């Protein structure tokens, strides 16, 4: 199936594995919350028990360096893509309100990203993520 939109999650390539997984999880929830129309139906197992809905399209996970991350951020803004962001300072916080404060304190034009998720038209997301490589 070909989707009109694309979801890409860029994760800083030099993070520890636990940090990469944590950032990816947070960013995926941000995209899901921003795009409720992209959510699939609840899952039902063979016993009839319902399980949570998942995003109804694939999410591609990319490794990126700081320069690629900044370029993707600028392209995401210019192309009006849905964005979810995670900055390094958020590793030092313990709750959502503190995360938002940490993000607001970042330089507006060059946040210290460790992760960035983008969703929008396939072509625009492809252009924004140019230079990133699929995560190994």
Instruction: pLDDT tens for the chain, 136 residues: list them.
Output: 888 999 999 999 999 999 999 999 999 999 999 999 999 999 999 999 999 999 999 999 999 999 999 999 999 999 999 999 999 999 999 999 999 999 999 999 999 999 999 999 999 999 999 999 999 8
Residues 6+ apart with CB under 8 A from 2: none
**Does 3.40.718.10 match the CATH number of domain 5-134?**
no
Q: What is the pTM of this model?
A: 0.94
Domain ranges across the chain: 5-134
Spatial contact of 5 and 119, defined as CB atoms under 8 Å apart: yes
């Amino acid at each position: 199936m070909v989707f009109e939109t694309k979801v890409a999650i860029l994760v800083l390539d030099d993070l520890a594995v636990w940090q990469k997984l944590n950032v990816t999880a947070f960013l995926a929830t941000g995209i899901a919350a921003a795009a409720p129309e992209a959510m699939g139906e609840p899952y039902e197992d063979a016993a009839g028990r319902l399980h949570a809905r998942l995003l109804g399209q694939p999410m591609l996970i990319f490794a990126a360096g700081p320069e690629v991350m900044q370029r993707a951020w600028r392209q995401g803004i210019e192309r009006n893509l849905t964005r979810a962001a995670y900055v390094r300072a958020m590793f030092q916080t313990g709750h959502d309100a503190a995360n938002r404060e940490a993000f607001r304190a970042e330089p507006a034009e060059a946040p210290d990203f460790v992760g960035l998720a983008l969703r929008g038209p396939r072509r625009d997301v492809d252009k924004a993520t140019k230079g990133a490589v699929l995560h190994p």
